[in-house]
């Protein structure tokens, strides 16, 4: 038994040494300075390098969708073109002004609308609006008696104007509006306050570039402006229209 014991001790010692060499050998394998053990050089794989040039994505024109944009003239564009053609063919001086009274954009159109023209009887438009607005405001009455003065006389439809003759305001307004009677209009202008009062009202109503009565000029834009203001109720509203 002692010999067996003596034999086992070396084996155990060897076995212990062998067992200890496994981790020691592993450590030594990793250290190139360990004596008697050859160090293996690990294989290194180079990281992929970026391309030396940029890669461009080329799309063939045939693969791109074809887009076609069609631009058509609007209704206002067509109207402008037609009016320009008509004015050009007329051989006359033409001024046109148009404004929409409703709609989201309320578009406007002006073809030489700022050009001044002889107003002729156009002064009667703001005159009649001033009369209607004063009546609606209670400042004057349709039954007021307005008398003729010889300075008011001008050729017209009616021949019953004599010194001292008087007419109701409503009668003179009717003669001015329905017959464009010049003498009736001149009587109304005088009672309004004269040409200065007429021009003051016209400018306030939108006719900023007109000089009525003398030298009596106006523009298409001014006439459109006063009509728009009346239509939008800014010159006495529905009471004045009535």
pLDDT, averaged across the chain: 81
Give the residue with greater pLDDT, 231 vs 70. Answer: 231
3-state SS class at 187? helix
The Cα 201–Cα 213 span in angstroms is: 13
What's the pLDDT score for residue 7? 46
Q: What is the pLDDT of residues 144-188, one digit of tens each?
A: 999 999 999 999 899 999 999 999 999 999 999 999 999 999 999
What's the pLDDT score for residue 63? 60
Positive or negative, the Cα torsion across 166, 168, 171, 172?
A: positive
The rounded percent of the chain whose pLDDT value lies above 70 is 73
Domains in the chain: boundaries: 122-237
What's the pLDDT score for residue 68? 76
What is the CATH architecture assignment of 122-237? Answer: 3-Layer(aba) Sandwich (3.40)
The Cα 187–Cα 147 span in angstroms is: 8
């Amino acid at each position: 038994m002692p010999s067996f014991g003596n034999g086992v001790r070396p084996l155990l010692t060897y076995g212990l040494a062998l067992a200890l060499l496994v981790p020691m050998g592993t450590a030594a394998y990793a250290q190139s300075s360990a004596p008697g053990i050859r160090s293996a050089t690990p294989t290194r794989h180079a990281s992929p390098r970026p391309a030396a040039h940029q890669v461009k994505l080329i799309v063939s024109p045939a693969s791109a969708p074809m887009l076609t944009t069609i631009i058509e003239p609007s209704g206002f564009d067509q109207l402008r073109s037609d009016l320009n053609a008509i004015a050009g063919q007329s051989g006359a001086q033409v001024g046109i002004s148009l404004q929409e009274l409703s709609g989201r954009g309320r578009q406007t159109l002006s073809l030489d609308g700022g050009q001044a023209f002889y107003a002729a009887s156009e002064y009667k438009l703001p005159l009649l609006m001033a009369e209607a607005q004063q009546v609606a405001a209670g400042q004057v009455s349709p039954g007021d008696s307005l008398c003729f003065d010889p300075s008011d006389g001008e050729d017209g439809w009616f021949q019953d104007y004599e010194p001292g003759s008087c007419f109701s305001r409503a009668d003179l307004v009717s003669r001015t509006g329905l017959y464009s009677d010049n003498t009736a209009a001149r009587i109304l202008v005088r009672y309004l306050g004269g040409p200065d009062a007429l021009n003051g009202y016209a400018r306030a109503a939108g006719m900023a570039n007109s000089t009525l009565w003398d030298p009596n000029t106006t523009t298409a834009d001014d006439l459109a402006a006063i009509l728009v203001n009346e239509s939008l109720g800014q010159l006495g509203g529905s009471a004045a229209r009535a």
